[in-house]
Structure 1
Amino acid sequence: MELELFETLGISLGLGLLVGLQRQHDQSQLAGIRTFPLITLFGTISGFLAQDFGGWIIAMGILSLAILVAVANFMRSRAPHVDIGLTTEAAALLMYVVGAYLVLGQVTVAVAVGAVVAVLLHLKETLHRIVAKIGQNDLRAIMQFVVISLVVLPVLPDRTYGPYGVLNPHNIWLMVVLIVGIGLLGYFAYKIFGQKSGTVLGGILGGLISSTATTVSYARRTKDHGKASSMLAALVIFIASAVSVVRIITEVAVVAPSTLPTVAPPLAALLLLMLVLGGILYFFKGSAKDSMPEQANPAHLKTALIFGAIYAAVILATAFAKDQLGSSGLYIVAVISGLTDVDAITLSTSRLMQVGSMEPANGWRLILVAALSNLAFKAGLVGVLGSRSVFMKVALLFGIVLAGGLLVLWLWPENFQVPFINLEAKQI
């Protein structure tokens, strides 16, 4: 018991020193390397006392600290040219609570919160620069994602409707939140790097946001710039398509983690082929540079509704095909769905695998067929919208990948698995 007490006090002292070091380095006038450890230890001692005398001890402690901070700020305000903020004050109150939570709650949570406080304080300039780059459209994107994820999702009923009992509004919208979140991550990465993003980074960001939109954008640019841009455009389009395979594997990992030992290896084999081809293409691209075209906000409510409708239609079509046509009908759905949006068929198949309605050995084949269908569709877009030069390059690259994908479908061992660490997760 005594050893645990000193261990808790040691953690409290360490967290206080961590935050105090950052505040001292930032030249805070209110609290620094000595004050923050005292505050955190104050909270920890209050937590120990609260176990015997009740929670009012902690309440009185935080009230006393708040009065102490207010008095200190009042005294400082009498001096000329003093800028009194709230960051250090808020950190002091929070670290007191962290100190108390070390005793009354979970140590790992308290340590994580203390570390996050230190990191947030340290990243002041970086966060300010990021905020300075956020325009009205970017703020709208954030607010729209909040509406999509935190307003719409909680009110949707978590029960099945419609034929075959497969349409669950809550689960459908949860998939919408996942896809919009991935797109929004890529969008803000693009906003941070902007036009400075090079060819490889442009392809990566394009794959995160939308590989199809990236294909359309770069294909159109080759009409204006001719052969000079065809190699770069082909490389960006190809990288974005490779990232879309990573995106597929990520979606499976989130929705159906238990199937990864079976599903991930064949998809990773296709990704490896694409990485090799992309490396060869990058070697021959020369020294030319390119900038990424302006990207649209992926968090529009209209975009979310469209994806939700597509996802629901794919779920319904999958259930219908399985009931009426058997396993062969599912491949027809995969080909058609992959033409427009490979995310929808990936998520619906992943859910079927997770709940046991489909074997993983069949699920990865459906997903791979949809991915190959999507590649063929994007090659067609390049042929219609781009120059002949970029189409020839993309057609060759995608043709090799399609051939490799068909070989994987044909030759991959039926029950092959990689012994991953058990990835049990809460079912989505």
Structure 2
Amino acid sequence: MPHLEIFQTLAISLALGLLVGLQRQHQNARIAGIRTFPIVTMFGTVCALLAGDFGGWIIAAGALAVTALVVTGNLIQRDIKPDDVGQTTEAALLLMFAVGAYLVIGNTAVAVAIGGAVAVLLHLKETLHQAVSKLGEKDLHAIMQFVVISLVILPVLPNQAYGPYDVLNPYNIWLMVVLIVGIGLAGYFAYKIFGDKAGTLLGGVLGGLISSTATTVSYAKRSKAGETKNTNYNLIALVIFIATAISVVRITVEVAVVAPGGTLAIVAPPLVTLLLLMAVLIVLGFFFKKEDAGRMPEQENPAQLKTALVFGAIYAIVIVATSAAKDHFGNSGLYIVAIISGLTDVDAITLSTSRLMNDEVINQQTGWKVIMIAALSNIAFKGAMVAVLARRALFTRVAVLFGISLAAGLLIIWLWPENFQLHWLTKL
């Protein structure tokens, strides 16, 4: 290794050690702080440098030496009884030795990321403990269900196509289930942390992450349950509209995950254009906001196995229906499927269309229109639910917001330039 590169590696090692050591020193760690951590991290780097000439046993010997130092340090201070007994500092010390060694034999960016993550985890001790303390049996059950869905079921599914049109791949179908359940679960736990204090903006964002349709139903019923004089319909309409806008963000993210590159470069621009218009309406809506949204309606756990199976079945049906419609009726058939599917689950039609575009089964110019039509269909469906479930005053306000969005979406479909794409997205 050239001398300059060695010095750069040692400098990074020193910086990472100082970063973690600073945090430990601030917390008055017993056996290691601002000096010990950088020394141990650099020791790991030097061991790895020596291993290049003398063999990997030097790294193992160094790890044993650090372990011996940790044990010795604890024995020396065995009569001291700290308020918080734990081995976090000891574990961090051993890991930083390994990070120092990995800087030499591995990827520098990975080592830096690990070192930064260690510092952040140590710093967020109280925050993480508080978050865990808020978890109930129901929340732990949700985590375990997601583990079953993502780490138990997914790996054992066959990764090959079956059925009509060779589009039913069990692994790919369940991977889409994991993606949607993961997004919903992230929103659910954000709701558990912020739900009681969620205001207008946060309430709409969390509702959109978990389920914009469920949020629409909850707030629509909430408006009807309250007294007319005390109900801020502008506020409730704004929460529902924010959740709907977040659903468009979800669609864009789903396309980015399933079909990055050329497909995303074509699909994202019209969706983002609609989203920007909705953002302008949200900003304008805040001028009519008079008070905070208060508590969010109770949200359901999105990681239930039954929910996952239902979405998987819907996704499989939609992807077969899309392929069949394309084969028998051409583009007009795809648009009909998009309208119908958007009424029930816009995620399924988005993911299936994105995958078919990525596999070149559907033309990209047709594909983005299918996704846009599904999104508009879903907006219209939510507007209909507000009309049925809410008071007329709320429906009037939601109808204006949704009506402008629907009109804008249709104009985008009609006027959008052919073959327009953001070329920088093709590199993703």
TM-score of the alignment, normalized to the shorter chain, above 0.5: yes
Equivalent position SS for 1:290: coil
- CA-CA distance at 1:83 after TM superposition: 4.9
Partner of 2:95: 94
Partner of 2:244: 241
Partner of 2:327: 323
Separation of aligned partners in 2, 1:178 and 1:399: 30
- CA-CA distance at 1:82 after TM superposition: 6.7
- CA-CA distance at 1:78 after TM superposition: 2.4
Gap change, CA 1:410 and 1:45, over 3 Å in 2: same
Partner of 1:404: 408
Separation of aligned partners in 1, 2:194 and 2:318: 35
Per-residue Cα deviation, 1:48-105 (whole angstroms, up to 9, x for no partner) = 1211222211112111211221121122112355754200000011111111111111
Q: Which amino acid aligns with 2:191?
A: Y
Contact 1:182 1:208 in 2 (8 A): yes
Gap change, CA 1:244 and 1:83, over 3 Å in 2: closer
TM-score (norm 1): 0.96
Runs of 5+ unmatched residues, structure 1: none
Which segment is superposed worse, 277-286 or 155-164?
277-286
Contact 2:160 2:169 in 1 (8 A): yes
Partner of 1:304: 308
TM-score (norm 2): 0.96
Q: Map 1:324-363 to 2 at 5 A.
A: 324-363=328-367
Q: Which amino acid aligns with 2:246?
A: V
Partner of 1:367: 371
Q: Which amino acid aligns with 2:179?
A: L
Contact 1:199 1:291 in 2 (8 A): no
Runs of 5+ unmatched residues, structure 2: none
Separation of aligned partners in 2, 1:423 and 1:387: 48
Separation of aligned partners in 2, 1:22 and 1:89: 14
Q: What is the percentage of aligned positions where both structures have the same residue?
A: 66
Separation of aligned partners in 2, 1:79 and 1:272: 60
Which segment is superposed worse, 75-84 or 175-184?
75-84
Partner of 1:48: 49
Separation of aligned partners in 2, 1:384 and 1:336: 19
Separation of aligned partners in 2, 1:90 and 1:177: 32
Equivalent position SS for 1:368: helix
Q: Map 1:119-198 to 2 at 5 A.
A: 119-198=120-199
Q: Is 1:295 the counterpart of 2:299 in the alignment?
A: yes
Q: Which amino acid aligns with 2:108?
A: V
Tell me how many residue pairs correspond in the alignment.
424
Partner of 1:115: 116
- CA-CA distance at 1:168 after TM superposition: 0.3
Separation of aligned partners in 2, 1:226 and 1:364: 43
- CA-CA distance at 1:331 after TM superposition: 0.7
Q: Which amino acid aligns with 2:149?
A: I
Equivalent position SS for 2:424: coil
